[in-house]
Amino acid sequence: MSKTWDVIIIGGGPAGSTAATTLRQAGRSVLVLEKAKFPRFHIGESLLPYNRAVFDELGVWPKIEAAGFMMKRGAQFWMGDGSIHTRLNFSRGSFTEFPEAIQVERAKFDDLLLRHAEELGAEVREEAIVTEHRVEKDRVTVKFRAKDGSEQEVQGAFLMDASGLGNFTANRENLREYYPGHKKIAIFGHYSGVQMPEGGEKGDILIIRRENSWFWMIPLEDDKTSVGLVLDQADFKALKQEPQQVFDDAVLSAKAVHDRMINAKVITQGHVLTDFSYTNRKLVSERLVRVGDASGFIDPIFSSGVMLAMTSGRRGAQVVHQALVAGKALTFAMKRYEWTTRRHVSRFWQFIEKFYTKHFAQLFFQPSNKFRMVCAINCALAGRTEMTFGTWWRLRLFFTLVWIQKRFPLAKPIRIR
Ligand SMILES: Cc1cc2nc3c(=O)[nH]c(=O)nc-3n(C[C@H](O)[C@H](O)[C@H](O)COP(=O)(O)OP(=O)(O)OC[C@H]3O[C@@H](n4cnc5c(N)ncnc54)[C@H](O)[C@@H]3O)c2cc1C
C-alpha cells in the first residue's frame, strides 16, 4: 500500500518551502510537489526586513547569509521627473526591529529555501505538475504528472496549496476575485550598467512614481539591476504597442529612471505578467489551507509578497500541525489563520490603495516625523505585521492627515509627471 503523508504541499516557492520546513520541525511527514525544475526564474526580488524573523525561525539564516545576497538598508521613493524623493532608512526607524533586508535573485533564493526543507526531511518532487485534488472525509487525494510523464496519485491527511499565482485549488473552486480598478501589467528585465546608489545607500530599492504607473529598480549584484514597470492594463492596451516598446518609452520619459539607465545593457528583458492582484473568498476549508500567493496577492509596490508568503506559510503549517494533533479536519485555529492573514494583507493594502492618489503622494513624499509618524510608516513598510498600540495610532494619524489633505491642503503641492 502506498504511503499516506501527513501533509501534501503544492508548490515549492517561498510559501511552500517555509510550510515544509515548519512541518518537518514539528516532526510531520511532508511531500512537496513542484511543477518546475529548480533553480528557476521568478519575479519578486526585493525582500523586507521582517523576513528575517521567519528566516531565524526556520533556521535558514546562516545559509542565506553565506550566499552573499545584496544587503538592502533602505527604500527610496522618487518622483518620475527626479524633482523630489524620500528615503526610508530601516536602521533609523525607532519602532523597526530589523535594520536591513536582502535583494535576491529568486532562482538562487528559492532553491536555497527548498533545499533547506529537503535537508530537514521533506520529500521534494520537482517537475511534478498537480492536475487534480479531491478532499474526502478522512483524507485528500492529489493527482499529478510526474517527471517521466506518468500520471500518479498520492494521499495525505492535509493539503496545503502554495501554488502561487497559479492559484490551483481556489481556481478549481471558483474562489478568485480581482480587486476592482486594480488590473495591472508588469514589464521587466535585468540590466547591467545601471547607475544605482552607492555608499550608505548601496543596496536600496528605488521606486519611481509616474502619474499612473511606477518603476522598480532593484540592485541584485554590483552590476546587475532588476528594472520593472507597472501600469494599468487599460493604459497599456490604449497604447497598442509591444510591451518592450512601452517599457522603453516609459524609461525615456521618466528622468529619474532614464538618467540611471543611460549606459544600461540588457541581460534579459521583455518579461510580462498581468492580472496579479486578487483575493480568494476562502483560505481554509476541511483538510485544506492556502498560503502565499495562493491565498491572494496584492500589488508589488511595497515588496511585501515574499514576506507575506513566508509568514503565511509558517502560520498555515502551524495550524495544520495543530489540527493533526487534534485529529480534526477543520479547526478554529485554521479560521483564525484566515482572519490574521487577511489582516496582514490589509496593513499593506491601506498604503497600496492610497499610493496611487495625489494627496497621499503629497504627504508621503514630503514626510514630517512629528509624533514619530514616519517611524511608524517605516515599521509598517519594513514588514511588521503585528502593530503595537504606539505604531497603530501613529499610522491612523497619518491616514487621517491623508484624508484631510484631500480636502484642505496641509502639505506643499507637488506635480506628478
Ligand atoms: C510584478 C511583480 C513584482 C513583484 N516584486 C516583488 C518584490 O520585489 N518583493 C516581494 O517580496 N515580492 C514581490 N512580488 C511577489 C512575489 O513574487 C510573490 O509574492 C512570491 O513569489 C509568493 O511566493 P509563493 O511561494 O506564494 O509563490 P511562488 O513563488 O510563485 O511559488 C509557487 C510555486 O508553485 C509551483 N506551482 C504552481 N502550480 C503548480 C502545480 N499545478 N503543480 C505543482 N507546482 C505548481 C510554481 O512552479 C512555483 O514554483 C512581485 C510580484 C509581481 C507579480
**Three-class SS of residue 386?**
coil
The reported pTM is 0.96
Q: What is the DSSP letter of 130?
A: E
Q: By percentage, how much of the chain surpasses pLDDT 90?
A: 86
Task: Please give the pLDDT value at position 265.
Answer: 97
AA identity, residue 215: F
Question: Which of 143, 293, 304, 314 should be mutated for ligand 1, with most atoms under 8 A from CB?
Answer: 293
Give the CATH H-level superfamily of domain 4-69+104-178+278-347.
FAD/NAD(P)-binding domain (3.50.50.60)
Span from the CA of 13 to the centroid of ligand 1 (angstroms): 6
DSSP string, 32-96: EE-SSPSS---S--B--TTHHHHHHHHT-HHHHHHHTPEEE-EEEEEETTSS-EEEEEGGG-TT-
Structure-block grid coordinates of residue 223:
552590476
Q: What are phi and psi of 175, to 5 degrees?
A: -105, -5
Phi, psi (degrees; rounded to nearest 5) at 223: -130, 40
Longest dimension (CA), the chain: 72
Q: Mind listing the pLDDT tens digit for each residue in 311-343? A: 999 999 999 999 999 999 999 999 999 999 999
pLDDT band (50, 70, 90) for residue 250: very high
Instruction: Give the mutation target among 8, 21, 33, 35 for probing the ligand 1 site: most ligand atoms within 8 A of CB.
Output: 35
C-alpha 60 – ligand 1 centre gap (Å): 19
More confident residue, 408 or 45: 45
Tens digit of each residue's pLDDT (9 = 90 or more) over 215-232 = 999 999 999 999 999 999
Q: What is the average pLDDT across 375-382?
A: 94
Nearest CA to ligand 1 atom 50: 44
Q: Is 217:223 a contact under the CB 8 Å cutoff?
A: no
Q: Residue 417: is its pLDDT beyond 80?
A: no
Written as nine digits, the cell of 391 is 505604531
Q: In the prediction, which pLDDT does 289 show?
A: 98
Domain 184-274: CATH class, spelled out:
alpha beta
CA of 309 to the centre of ligand 1 (A): 8
- pLDDT digit string (tens) for 189-205? 999 999 999 999 999 99
Ligand 1: residue of 17, 38, 42, 125 to mutate (most ligand atoms within 8 A of CB) is 42
Which residue ranges make up each domain of the chain? 4-69+104-178+278-347, 184-274, 358-407
**pLDDT at residue 1 tops 70:** no
3-class secondary-structure state, position 356: coil
Residue 42, pLDDT above cutoff 90: yes
Q: Do domains 4-69+104-178+278-347 and 184-274 have the same CATH topology?
A: no
Percent of the chain beyond pLDDT 70? Answer: 100
DSSP state of 22: H
- Ligand 1 first shell, C-beta below 6 A: 10-16, 33-36, 42-47, 129-130, 162-166, 168, 186, 228, 273, 276, 292-294, 297, 300, 303, 305-307, 309
| 8 A C-beta contact, residue 184 and residue 246 | no
| Angle in degrees, CA 50, 53, 58, rounded to 5 | 135
Residue whose CA is at the smallest distance from ligand 1 atom 6: 44
Which residue type occupies 292? Answer: G
CA distances from residue 187 to 120, 243, 248, 308 in whole angstroms, order as listed: 37, 7, 10, 23
* Distance from Cα 2 to the centre of ligand 1, integer Å: 31
Residue nearest to atom 17 of ligand 1 (CA): 44
Cα separation of 47 and 170, whole Å?
Answer: 26
**Residue 369 CB partners (closer than 8 Å, separation 6+):** 375
Confidence of residue 412 (pLDDT cuts 50, 70, 90): confident
User: What's the 329 CA to ligand 1 centre distance in angstroms?
Assistant: 27
| CA 293 – ligand 1 centroid, Å | 6
The β-bridge relationship of strands 140-145 and 4-10 is: unpaired
Q: Which residues pair with 218 in a beta bridge?
A: 226
| Calpha distance 88→381 (Å, rounded) | 9
Question: If you measure from the C-alpha of residue 80 to the centroid of ligand 1, how many angstroms do you get, rounded to a whole number?
Answer: 28
Q: What residues does 80 pair with on adjacent strands? A: none
Structure confidence at residue 137 (pLDDT): 93
